[in-house]
Structure 1
C-alpha cells in the first residue's frame, strides 16, 4: 500500500470527517445530547478524565481542546469551572454541530476551524490546559510534529492532558475470527485505511473520502512530547476501554491488556 504524504492524509481525513458528520446527527444519542447540554452542569466526561482534570486544575483556567469533534467534551469543561474554552477541529461539519450544541447551553465556548498544523497565531501561548481525548492522535501522520504544535498553544507552565486508547490495543481486531490474537504489529508503520463514513458503531455501506489511521507507539508519543519541550509528570495505564463498545470484550480478562492511558506533560515555567 502506498503511504500518502502528510498533507494528503490530513486533507483526506478532514474530508472523511465532513462526509461522516450527518451520520452522527441521525442518532438518538444526538437528540438526547441536545437536551442534556441545556443543563448548566452538563458533562459527558467519564470518572477517569474528570478526576485527572480536577487534579491538574481546570477551575478558573483557559482551556483548549484540540480535535474537539462536536464540542460535547469542550462544553463539559465548564462543569469543572473552566474560565474559557476553545475547541479546535478541522471538520467544519462537526463544528457546525458543536455550535448547535453550544446554542442550547448557557456557556459560550469558542470553536475554531483549523488544522492543528496551521493554527492561528493568536492561539499560541494562550492556554493553561490543552486537552486531547480519544481518537485524535491516530489521525496525525507525524506525532512529533503534532505535539510541537500542541505545545505552542500553552502558556509557560501550562499542561497538556491526554486521555487516549492504548496503542497496544491497535494490535487486535475485535471483529476478527479470533479477536484475542494479535492481528497487526505494534510497530506498524503504514496507516489503516477506510473508504466508508467514520461511525462509532457498525458500518455505513457507502463511499466516503479515504481516512488514514496511524499507529503511534508509546515510545513515539513520549519522545514527541519531550522533544516538543514538554515535561511528563503523569502517565497511567488502565484496564477499561474508552472507545467503541465492540472493544468492551477486552475488559475483565484473566490476561488483561492495557486498554487506555492518561498522560500529563507541562511546558517549562518562565519563572526560575
Structure 2
C-alpha cells in the first residue's frame, strides 16, 4: 500500500474499476451457488446476529428501503424478511449489480438497481422510509460530509438510517503486520491508502488488480457529518466483535478489548 491524494472524481472512478474487476470472483463457485439457493427460500437473510437484533427492534413493515453501496444486493433482499420492501439498491459497480439481478430473480423481488456514483446520483431516485449502510461503505468515501448530505436527501420525513460498520479504531490495525496488535496506521490520517490487491472474501490471494483508494474517518467525523446533514442520532453502540473478514477475529475476545464495529441509528425529522 502507498499513500496518494487523488481528487474525488479520480478516487471514485478508480474504486469503481477495481470493484468491477473483482466481481467475477464473487459470482461463481460453491459460495455463489449456496447464496443463490438461499435467496430462493423463505426468510432469506445474510445478516449476523447483531444486525438482526437491531433490525428486529425497528418497525420496518411496509417501509420502502434503499441500500447505499449494495454490492450484489444480498443485504437489500434480506430486508424483506423483516417486513421491509426492498425498493432500491445503489452501487457504482455494474458487474456486482448484474449479480444482484440474478439474486433478486431467485428471491422473486424486483428492486430498482441503480448504477451510480453516490456523489452524482440521478435526480429522479426519490426518497425512502429506511436506509441501510453496512461494512466498508464509508471508507470508500472521499468526502464524508457530502456523502451524508446525499444520504439525508434519500430519506423521507420520519425515515430511519442504520449504519453497521467497522469501527475506526480497528482501521488502525493490520492483521498481516509482523506486530498485528500494535497500531499500523494513524487514527487521524487524512490521506487515503492506495492498494492494488484484488478484492475477495474467500481468504485467497488473487493477485494484483486495479488501484483503489481507502479513506480513514474518525468516529467524531462520522457522527459530526451525520448531525450536520440534519439527521438525529438515536443510538450509537460500539461492539467488541468484527463484521469484517475472518482474519480480523484475532482482535476479538481479548482482555483489553478493542472496539471492532458499531451500529448507528439515526432518523430524519418528520
Name the TM-score class by shorter chain: over 0.9
- Find the aligned partners of 2:124 and 2:265 in 1 and give their Cα distance: 24
Structure 1 counterpart of 2:262: 261
Structure 1 counterpart of 2:193: 192
Matched, 1:138 2:120: no
Structure 1 counterpart of 2:101: 99
Checking the alignment, whether the CA contact within 8 Å between 1:77 and 1:85 is kept in structure 2 is no
Once the two structures are superposed, the pairs formed by residues 142-181 of structure 1 within 5 Å of their partners are 142-181=143-182
Secondary structure at the residue paired with 2:169?
helix
Deviation at 1:199, TM superposition (A): 1.3
Deviation at 1:120, TM superposition (A): 2.0
Checking the alignment, whether the CA contact within 8 Å between 2:4 and 2:193 is kept in structure 1 is no
Structure 1 counterpart of 2:250: 249
With structure 1 as the length reference, what TM-score do the two structures score?
0.95
Deviation at 1:192, TM superposition (A): 1.6
Secondary structure at the residue paired with 1:40?
coil
Deviates more, 1:48-57 or 1:89-98: 48-57
- Find the aligned partners of 2:59 and 2:120 in 1 and give their Cα distance: 28
Query: Please, which runs of 5 or more residues in structure 2 have no aligned partner?
Result: none
- Find the aligned partners of 2:243 and 2:85 in 1 and give their Cα distance: 27
Secondary structure at the residue paired with 1:65?
strand
Structure 1 counterpart of 2:207: 205
How many pairs are equivalent? 267
- Find the aligned partners of 2:11 and 2:41 in 1 and give their Cα distance: 38
- CA-to-partner distance for each residue in 1:42-81, whole Å, 9 max, x for gaps? 1001121112122232111000000000000011010111
- Find the aligned partners of 2:59 and 2:118 in 1 and give their Cα distance: 24
The runs of at least 4 consecutive aligned structure 1 residues that moved more than 3 Å come to none
Secondary structure at the residue paired with 1:209?
strand
Query: Please, which runs of 5 or more residues in structure 1 have no aligned partner?
Result: none
- Find the aligned partners of 2:184 and 2:29 in 1 and give their Cα distance: 31
Once the two structures are superposed, the pairs formed by residues 224-243 of structure 1 within 5 Å of their partners are 224-243=225-244
Structure 2 counterpart of 1:48: 50
With structure 2 as the length reference, what TM-score do the two structures score?
0.96
Structure 2 counterpart of 1:129: 130
Checking the alignment, whether the CA contact within 8 Å between 1:160 and 1:265 is kept in structure 2 is yes
- Find the aligned partners of 2:216 and 2:59 in 1 and give their Cα distance: 30
- Find the aligned partners of 2:238 and 2:122 in 1 and give their Cα distance: 33
Secondary structure at the residue paired with 1:232?
strand
